[in-house]
Structure 1
């Protein structure tokens, strides 16, 4: 081993020297931009400031309950009596305004309005409208900031979903969780900063894929770690048969020595990231089994989330696990629940989806609140776009479908410094925004702000350009902040 180290040390030519020098200067410059006081004399021996927010945050962690497939805001949150009164009449052309349509309704000769079959009532001190499908969510209405005016340009699932998760409609960009891991780091050295949980309902589903939780061009240590419902919640985490913890520790030490030699030769920061990932996996071998064990949860907690919280891989189980992960310092917990793509037979499908998600969602808010964690945890609920006011296909009051609608839809947030209430207004058809629009980039900028990050300063230089989650747009929506 010593001989190899000597050879690596001698194998240094002018080009490599200058290359490694530039990496060092670039790292120092980046550090001085992110933390202006890093090189002050008072701070010269203290590097613990790395990973600090730009300003005092209102939230420390995020749990994002992503409802994949696009829930219908008109059947859940955005009550429009006009749609009931004009049921079956054609949507006025002036309202539609030549909107781009998907291939599923582009050939329709008429666009008959379809009111919801579900009853609505107002809840909480802000008198927020909610559907009868959400009785548990209605009980926590006073904790919710309901945004009715989210809008996006994407009209199909893949680009719209990718846009919400990465700030771009194309792949290979870092996801929101990766940006937060990069900007803030982890609160718990034994767990990753960014975790992913998947579940699937009985409705029409849209796929999810690893590019949604990718690190993109950031170091691989920032990629989301997917937890599964199988015997091994994190793949390849357990030791192979015949290998114990002592053997694993010895192997990692030897591997780290070799990787350090490689880093000394090339200066490639990804090598250091690989070492950190191996060490994280070693620590997770102890931390993860304890986290996944819900047998010790009190009976009242199980009752709060519902019996399915004891069934691994269900939405309820993932909501409970999200609380445990967040409680243990995981910076960003991303849930994806599939089955909201209501093109046909929407009433039956959305009823089933709400049966799966309503109680666990409200339970998560209640559980965090009673543990004193809601104020520092930002919970987000919503999909990639909304649903049209007109019917897709044959019109039937009991069995209708809705196409994609990116012009306005509803997302809610809770805790983490948001202002409870209802934000924004849509027209009488629930088709266009009439007050306080919130673009996806604005939404991202506001989330980063709540976490203490300036979205214009959280950047990474790649291929000669500085990238950020909000691209070259986005503004903080102060009306959403308490």
Structure 2
């Protein structure tokens, strides 16, 4: 007898996996058929019944998320964190009392000086909330100031891109954990059986001077079931690799092949109970259904003239940020839970004045259009839109100092992000930094707090929203303290 076969379990394994069985049976016998179907629970968990959903802890304000990640770290003092007093500090060294021994990257740690480089751009107050915004570069986004929740005090420990973007996406600087999109897919389930719950779009910037690597490690499901990993749509060619049948293979034969293959996989699953096999079955079936749904999704012929007037003509060009923003709306409209968008080239170590305008031109009108489009369709109230990078930039220059052009190094101590819709409190300006935009002086928001707040908007208590793995109840916010920022929630 082969006692290593998966069908054989030890006594310890049996009692570990079945420890709650008798208690659950007793509870069901006492409650009859009311457990999980009563009106009180239905009201508390309006997403119950969605395929794959787990119970929410309270009614969610957001049903879906569109996360716009600016890869590289946008310069907060050149966009949102107005510091006019820095003009008087031009070419003076950053005081040691401000830097206070902070760890630096190897790109500036060898500099003999840390000369202050004030922003070359002018700022204007926007909206009733009075948010200072660089309206030279973001004139359209400024129109939405009162609908946006501004967070100027984000902070993280990571100072280099790989660990910083991993921490921002997964809650941990070490790769391999589930990302926020996978947690949302796991918790909320699917609203469209013909599309994945979690989709990734990578926009191509108009300027490609200094891009960072982007790979599937950022949308991996980690220890969550594989079906919750992000599905990446390509910006050119077929949206999904192998979405079309090979030459000479008709649709009915493709369908029959998948059915036969999955029969074999189900036989294997009965014997091995391997979750990867279950995921493979689900993926084959989803891939076949996507053959019909994806071409319709990516065909923009049904979009009105008004839509392209809103997003601009760039929206007709696959791969542009405008096209990606429009695709994000179409995905959200069709029930995709989490749409992760990446826009590269925000790593401004040099030539900031040369590249920042093109980056802002890429995203300014489409971000405004996305918010307006969702609002006009009645979707903004339950769609959470997030914008931000993995860290900020330094007030001192990297390399040669110039009033007209300069570079900035990575800065994790403070940076700006924003949210809109989906229960975020519009017109809120949260957090303050010192006059150097270097340290937080009021209302810090660690990325763990940010994640906890997003989960709250999705209906989950971050402390109780867990997944059992390696004997521990794992969670997005990890083991260190995290706090929901109630002031950010409408």
Q: Sort the Cα spacing of 1:40 and 1:68 in 2 relative to 1 into closer, same or farther, 3 A.
A: farther
Q: Please list the CA deviations of residues 308-344 of structure 1 after superposition, one character each: whole Å capped at 9, or x if unmatched.
A: 1000011110000000001111000000000111011
In the TM superposition, what are the counterparts of 1:256-405 in structure 2 within 5 Å?
256-405=262-411
Please name the residue that 1:458 is paired with: 465
SS at match of 1:42: coil
CA distance, structure 1, for counterparts of residue 170 and residue 316 of structure 2: 32
Q: Please list the CA deviations of residues 125-146 of structure 1 after superposition, one character each: whole Å capped at 9, or x if unmatched.
A: 1000000210010011111101
CA distance, structure 1, for counterparts of residue 94 and residue 294 of structure 2: 53
CA distance, structure 2, for counterparts of residue 147 and residue 94 of structure 1: 25
Please name the residue that 1:4 is paired with: none
Q: Tell me the CA shift for residue 418 of structure 1.
A: 0.8
Q: 1:41 aligns with which of 18, 32, 47?
A: 32
Q: Tell me the CA shift for residue 67 of structure 1.
A: 0.3
1:472 aligns with 2:479: yes
SS at match of 1:78: coil
Paired residues, number = 470
In the TM superposition, what are the counterparts of 1:31-110 in structure 2 within 5 Å?
40-43=31-34, 48=49, 50-110=53-113
Unaligned runs of 5+ in 1: 1-9
Please name the residue that 1:6 is paired with: none
SS at match of 1:388: strand
Deviating more after overlay: 237-246 vs 162-171: 237-246
Deviating more after overlay: 203-212 vs 312-321: 203-212
SS at match of 2:264: helix
In the TM superposition, what are the counterparts of 1:396-475 in structure 2 within 5 Å?
396-420=402-426, 421-473=428-480, 474-475=482-483
Deviating more after overlay: 260-269 vs 413-422: 260-269
1:16 aligns with 2:7: yes
CA distance, structure 2, for counterparts of residue 39 and residue 20 of structure 1: 29
Please name the residue that 1:138 is paired with: 142
Q: Please list the CA deviations of residues 31-65 of structure 1 after superposition, one character each: whole Å capped at 9, or x if unmatched.
A: x99xx989953257979374342210010000000
Q: Tell me the CA shift for residue 460 of structure 1.
A: 1.7
CA distance, structure 1, for counterparts of residue 164 and residue 28 of structure 2: 39
| Contact map agreement 1:23 1:267 (CA 8 A) in 2 | no
CA distance, structure 2, for counterparts of residue 182 and residue 21 of structure 1: 28
CA distance, structure 2, for counterparts of residue 390 and residue 384 of structure 1: 19
| Contact map agreement 1:190 1:284 (CA 8 A) in 2 | yes
CA distance, structure 1, for counterparts of residue 379 and residue 434 of structure 2: 36
Unaligned runs of 5+ in 2: 38-47
Deviating more after overlay: 175-184 vs 189-198: 175-184
1:197 aligns with 2:201: yes
CA distance, structure 2, for counterparts of residue 440 and residue 322 of structure 1: 24
| Contact map agreement 1:38 1:44 (CA 8 A) in 2 | no
CA distance, structure 2, for counterparts of residue 380 and residue 85 of structure 1: 34
Q: Sort the Cα spacing of 1:277 and 1:149 in 2 relative to 1 into closer, same or farther, 3 A.
A: same
| Contact map agreement 2:198 2:229 (CA 8 A) in 1 | yes
TM-score, normalization: structure 1? 0.93
Q: Please list the CA deviations of residues 165-212 of structure 1 after superposition, one character each: whole Å capped at 9, or x if unmatched.
A: 111111111111111111111111111000000023214211111100
Q: 1:184 aligns with which of 178, 188, 200?
A: 188
SS at match of 1:431: coil
SS at match of 1:126: coil
CA distance, structure 1, for counterparts of residue 158 and residue 71 of structure 2: 14
CA distance, structure 1, for counterparts of residue 157 and residue 186 of structure 2: 27
Please name the residue that 1:7 is paired with: none
Q: Sort the Cα spacing of 1:433 and 1:23 in 2 relative to 1 into closer, same or farther, 3 A.
A: farther
TM-score, normalization: structure 2? 0.91
Please name the residue that 1:244 is paired with: 250
Q: Tell me the CA shift for residue 18 of structure 1.
A: 2.6
- CA root-mean-square deviation: 2.4
Q: Sort the Cα spacing of 1:480 and 1:15 in 2 relative to 1 into closer, same or farther, 3 A.
A: closer
| Contact map agreement 2:181 2:230 (CA 8 A) in 1 | yes
